[in-house]
């Protein structure tokens, strides 16, 4: 299992976001893009592969699509299947951790209760997806209305990352 890690001091740059609802027989097109994409399964199953690894995104799961990697649908989804999505960029100070690295972070966290980073898993089942869905709706609202600044959108995305991190920590601490 892999985790993208970046500091709370480096807000991710939210580029675009929304909620996609699949028509009957929809299959994600094949693409190679330069941004990260965070997906949260809402309803039904979405079938996406990244680097020839197949994922079935169901409600309550997150999937992180990586820049410069091909992703595509490998099977049609049923009508009504849906997910929240957000394209974003992060600065060059991000790094990748494996599960052993995350356990070392958790060990330090248990002793000092301080965490200054966000840890986004490539694929993960959340314990409380509704908390992230609420923030996703706030992010979409911020993107849709001109009264919100890009900074507010970036804060919403960082909040999503912080909530995912909290759920990852809780899961692996048990």
Residues 41, 100: Cα–Cα separation, whole Å = 27
Residue 172 near residue 125 (C-beta atoms within 8 A): no
CA distances from 52 to 30, 48, 55, 65, 81 (A): 12, 9, 9, 12, 22
pLDDT of residue 108: 79
pLDDT of residue 27 exceeding 70, the answer is: yes
Average pLDDT of every residue of the chain: 91
Give the pLDDT confidence of 126-143 residue by residue, as tens digits.
Answer: 999 999 999 999 999 988
pLDDT of residue 66: 96
Q: What is the pTM of this model?
A: 0.92
pLDDT of residue 113: 66
Calculate mean pLDDT across residues 50-57. 95
Give the pLDDT confidence of 152-174 residue by residue, as tens digits.
Answer: 889 999 999 999 999 999 899 87
Tell me the two tokens of residue 172. Answer: 């692996």
pLDDT of residue 111 exceeding 90, the answer is: no
pLDDT of residue 147 exceeding 70, the answer is: no
pLDDT of residue 53: 96
Residue 105 neighbours by CB under 8 Å, 6+ apart: 97, 115, 117, 119
Calculate mean pLDDT across residues 69-85. 96
Estimate to the nearest angstrom the gap between the alpha carbon of 99 and the chain centroid.
17
């Amino acid at each position: 299992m892999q985790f993208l890690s970046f500091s709370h001091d480096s807000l991710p740059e939210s580029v675009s976001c929304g909620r996609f609802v699949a028509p009957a027989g929809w299959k994600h097109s094949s693409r190679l893009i330069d941004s990260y994409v965070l997906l949260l399964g809402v309803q039904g199953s979405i079938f996406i592969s990244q680097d020839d690894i197949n994922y079935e995104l169901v409600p309550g799961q997150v999937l992180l699509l990586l820049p410069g990697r091909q992703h595509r649908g490998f099977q049609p989804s049923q009508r009504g299947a849906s997910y929240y999505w957000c394209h974003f960029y992060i600065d060059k100070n991000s790094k990748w951790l494996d599960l052993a690295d995350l356990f070392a972070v958790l060990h330090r966290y248990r002793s000092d209760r301080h965490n200054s980073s966000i840890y986004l898993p490539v694929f993960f089942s959340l314990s409380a997806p509704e908390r992230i869905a609420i923030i996703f709706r706030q992010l979409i609202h911020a993107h849709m209305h001109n009264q919100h600044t890009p900074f507010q959108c970036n804060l919403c995305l960082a909040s999503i990352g912080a909530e995912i991190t909290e759920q990852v920590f809780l899961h692996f601490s048990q």
